[in-house]
Amino acid sequence: MSHKIRHISFYKALSPVSRPIADATHRIDEIAFIITRLELESGVIGESNLLSFHYSPAAIAGALFDIAPLVEGIEVNETGQLMQKALAEAEYFGDVGINRWALGAINLAMWDAWGKVLGQPIWKILGTYRQRVPVYGSGGWLSYSMEELIEEVTGYVRRGFKAVKIKVGSADIENDVERLSRVREAVGPSIKVMMDANQGMQLPDALALAKRAQDLSIHWFEEPIVRTDFDGYRTLRQQAGISLAMGEREYDVTALRELVARQALDLWQPDILRLGGVEGWRQSALMANAHGLPVLPHYYKEYDVPLLCTIPNAFACESFDWVDGLVDKPIRVEDGYAYPLPGPGWGFSFKDSTLSPLEATCLKGSVR
């Protein structure tokens, strides 16, 4: 039976909990996803999703449609060969950025289909270190009122989460300190609290906030400053007295290498779409492990939970509820842990009723 890819298609889905939100650097108007579906000649279907929000819909759609001709007709297990072809094709205009996102989307759908061909979940195919991983509830947007912020974090605690993360990087540090203080008071001393500036702070302000946060037992500080300021991260780690997390905006391991050389990082945060899929994610995780760094991936719990179960240096996964209402089998979260799905491939599928063809929603006839 042939396992060549016969057809590929793309869709858009809007999260049922979509509403405008904001962090220190972005306003997000909608919580939207692009779904890739590929069909094998054997009839097996593989899927993936890409968190797109409302940004550059024609650009990401164009990148996906550009890569599609490279995919049709190849064997579904040939993810490495596709990566080489796709990166060579994209090199002229850039093999990182939006082209890497498109490659990641195809890669994840191929792994899903390959797992279904083998009849096994990804976390068993790659070898298993653990059956569950710690999970934290994420959000705490700067656009929230104090009441909304407290309701979200206490809601996570009521659901069994043992850790929560909120946004910082306000125009006034005192506002950040007040929000952190109110969250700490609301969740109590036994719940871990983390903060994320989304690269929205200057070094002096980030250092000042980190020192103020020490009294609140903040567990880590994520992306305090611009990701390319490697020396700034070294200064923060030397002086701030708080663990630093970074990596979600990276398309390769360059930043990881630079930060390791400066002893400027405590937690590595790979983003599986930006890194081009499973192989890139695992390469970065293994490099982090070689330098004693735990892995704390960015956003995609449906992929990160099973992959974290396959590496020795898993730390925790991030949890949002955004995709849960769109899929048939959401990731199970219980008593502070997330569990990989038992089904073949990634173990879940998007409901057809939630999908709209990508051409109709984004391209408006601009690309075939």
> H/E/C letters for each residue in 255-321?
HHHHHHHCCCCCEECCCCCCCCCHHHHHHHHHHHHHCCCCECCCCCHHHHHHHHCCCCCECCEEECC
What pLDDT shows up at residue 366? Answer: 37
The phi, psi pair for 275, rounded to 5°, reads -85, 0
Please enumerate in sequence order all residues whose Cβ is within 8 A of that of 151, keeping only pairs 6 or more positions apart, or say none.
none
Q: Report the helix count and the strand count for the chain, using DSSP H and E.
A: 12, 15
Side chain identity at residue 331, one-letter code: I
d(CA 281, CA 272): 5
Per-residue b/e over 187-207, b at no fewer than 16 CB within 10 Å?
beeebbbbbbbbbbbebebbb
> H/E/C letters for each residue in 133-166?
EEEEEECCCCCCCHHHHHHHHHHHHHCCCCEEEE
Q: Which CATH number fits domain 5-119+352-363: 3.30.465.10, 4.10.780.10, 1.10.10.10, 3.30.390.10?
A: 3.30.390.10
Q: Which residue has the tokens 């959401």?
A: 330
Side chain identity at residue 292, one-letter code: G
Instruction: Give me the CATH code for the 124-339 domain, please.
Output: 3.20.20.120
What pLDDT shows up at residue 365? Answer: 39
d(CA 311, CA 279): 13
> H/E/C letters for each residue in 209-224?
HHHHHHHHCEEEEECC
What pLDDT shows up at residue 39? Answer: 97
Domain ranges, ordered by start, for the chain: 5-119+352-363, 124-339
Per-residue pLDDT 10s for the chain (368 aa) are 789 999 999 999 999 999 999 999 999 999 999 999 999 999 999 999 999 998 889 999 999 999 999 998 999 999 999 999 999 989 999 889 999 999 999 999 999 999 999 999 999 999 999 999 999 999 999 999 999 999 999 999 999 999 999 999 999 999 999 999 999 999 999 999 999 999 999 999 999 999 999 999 999 999 999 999 999 999 999 999 999 999 999 999 999 999 999 999 999 999 999 999 999 999 999 999 999 999 999 999 999 999 999 999 999 999 999 999 999 999 999 999 999 999 999 999 999 999 999 974 444 433 33
Please enumerate in sequence order all residues whose Cβ is within 8 A of that of 297, keeping only pairs 6 or more positions apart, or say none.
269, 270, 271, 272, 281, 304, 307, 308, 317, 318
d(CA 362, CA 366): 9
